Amino acid sequence: MPDGFSPQFVRLGGLKRYFDVSAPWLVRALERKPRQIVQAVDGIDIEIAKGETFSLVGESGCGKSTVARLVVGLYPPTAGSIEFDGNDMARRRSRTDMAALRRRMQMIFQDPFASLNPRWRVFDIIAEPIRAFDLSKDKADLEKKVGDLLRQVRLTPADGRKYPHEFSGGQRQRISIARALASQPEFLVCDEPTSALDVSVQAQILNLMMDLQRRFNLTYLFISHNLAVVYHISTRVGVMYLGRLVEVAPTDMLFRRPKHPYTRMLLDTIPDLDMTGRQRMPVAGEVPSPIDPPSGCTFHPRCPAANERCRIERPNMIPIEGGSVACHAIEEGRLPIEDRVYAARSLD
């Protein structure tokens, strides 16, 4: 971890979020159905340092989007704590204090078409946080601020008069980014911001986000299912499976020496664009339903290294080589850790 950063800018402790998806009680009483709870997030511990990009990866249903929404306060947690710059977000505060904290964190969403109100002009969309947090003195100042924000995301102030449907997907994401930056936040939660975009547009948006991070010293929590993207922009990576963290490590370490069997399988699913002839090893089985997860280590039905203990006992995160992993096989030394090498792609 580089010096000069205050540790634990954002800290999630034992974070849990359960959703009750039971049938209405009348149906349950008549048909004797049990209560059904989805353990979307089942005990997450994450620490993010100021200025770093922490990526959360996993497949659909692993709970990473739920974590994002928990962090910005869209859902209240079922259990556990969220700390932002030393402030416990669950503590009751006055409206002004809460607003002051909210101002410092914002969110960027996945769907460029649904994340902007189709009936509002772009100017008003970007100005909304400024108005809500009372950050500008008068109309002229507001216009200047919005114009600056638009320029920062490589659009023009004239674009403020248009409506969202007049822009392409990539441009809309830029507008979303401008809106997120309007309150001058320090922490941005990005929920798959480029997953809905074409590859060339994705490159533009990722470059933009990295530029902005450098310029404004932003901290990112980046949610994604695309490991290649994560490789390029993250400082540290956390891998989630069925609501739990299975491995956390600095980026280089995670990709070079993956430890958890699920991490290894995920890395194997990255397509081989370098045409080395490496065959993707298809992962066996499918992700089980989060309503009825397997016992013990939830990955054990699909894990080639699972033993009896894995079936019964849930593994804890243990520190290893600068990161941590939740795996009995690693802990017991049964699973060797190997280096991986990826071919550098040459283009002529």
Partner 1 sequence: MSDIASDSGWLRRAADSDIWWSFKSSPMTIVAAVATLLIIAMAFLAPLIAPHTPFDPATLSLSDGLKPPVLLSPDGDWSFPLGTDDQGRDILSAIMYGTRLSLIVGMASVVVAMVLGIALGLLSGYLGGTVDALIMRVADVQLTFPAILVALLIDGVVRGLISVQRHDEIAVYVIVGAIGLSFWVQYARTVRGSVMVEKNKEYVQAARVIGLSPLLIMVRHVLPNVMGPVLVIATINLGLAVITEATLSFLGVGLPSTEPSLGTLIRLGNEVLQSGDWWITVFPGATLAALVLAVNLLGDWLRDALNPKLR
Partner 2 sequence: MNTSNNPPLLEVRGLRIEFPTRRGTLLAVDDVSFEIAPGEVLGVVGESGAGKSLTGNAIIGLLEPPGRIAGGQILLAGRRIDNLPYEQMRKVRGAQIGAIFQDPLTSLNPLYSIGRQLVETIQTHLPLSNSDARARALELLREVGIPGAESRLDHFPHQFSGGMRQRVVIALALCAGPRLIVADEPTTALDVSIQAQIIAVLKRLCRDHGTAVMLVTHDMGVIAETADRVAVMYAGRLAEIGPVRDVIKHAKHPYTRGLMGSIPSLGVRTDRLTQIDGAMPRLTEIPAGCAFNPRCTEVGTRCVVERPDLMSAGTSRAACWLHDKGGVGAKLATEAVDA
Q: Does 127 bind partner 1 (CB under 8 A)?
A: no
Secondary structure of 8-35 as H, E, C letters:
CCEEEEEEEEEEECCCCHHHHHHHCCCC
Q: Does 93 bind partner 1 (CB under 8 A)?
A: no
The whole-angstrom separation of Cα 330 and Cα 290 is 25
CB of 112 to partner 1, least distance (A): 9
Question: Which region among 95-103, 107-115, 125-133, 272-280 touches partner 2 (by CB under 8 A)?
Answer: 272-280
Output b/e per residue, 316-340; b: 16+ Cβ within 10 A: ebeebeebbbbbbbbeeeebeeeee
* Candidate list 69, 104, 225, 311; residue touching partner 1; CB under 8 A: 69
Of 26 and 199, CB closest to partner 2: 199
Q: Are 243 and 62 in contact (CB under 8 A)?
A: yes
**What part of residues 41-60 is at the interface with partner 2 (CB under 8 A)?**
59-60
* Candidate list 47, 128, 143, 268; residue touching partner 1; CB under 8 A: 128
CB of 227 to partner 2, least distance (A): 8
Of 217 and 269, CB closest to partner 2: 269
Q: Does 90 bind partner 1 (CB under 8 A)?
A: no
Q: Are 89 and 170 in contact (CB under 8 A)?
A: no
Binding mask 135-174 for partner 2 (x = CB under 8 A): -------------------x-------------xxxx--x
Tokens of 311: 């079936």
CB of 180 to partner 1, least distance (A): 8
Tokens of 163: 């409506």
With CB under 5 to 8 Å by kind, the binding choice for 263 among partner 2, partner 1, none is none
Q: Which of 159, 150, 154, 158 is nearest to 130 (CA)?
A: 150
Residue 191's contacts (CB-CB under 8 Å, 6 or more residues apart) are: 65, 68, 69, 107, 108, 109, 110, 223
Q: Does 203 bind partner 2 (CB under 8 A)?
A: yes
CB of 106 to partner 1, least distance (A): 6
Task: Using only the alpha carbons of the chain, give its radius of gyration.
Answer: 22
Q: Does 198 bind partner 2 (CB under 8 A)?
A: yes
* Candidate list 1, 27, 74, 343; residue touching partner 1; CB under 8 A: 74
The whole-angstrom separation of Cα 116 and Cα 126 is 10
Q: Are 84 and 105 in contact (CB under 8 A)?
A: yes
Question: Count residues contacting partner 1 (CB under 8 A)?
Answer: 31
With CB under 5 to 8 Å by kind, the binding choice for 232 among partner 2, partner 1, none is partner 2
Q: For the chain, how long is the longest CA-to-CA vector?
A: 69
Q: Applying CB under 8 A, which residues contact partner 1?
A: 69, 72-74, 98-99, 102, 106-107, 109-111, 114-120, 128-129, 132-133, 158, 161-162, 165-166, 176, 179, 183
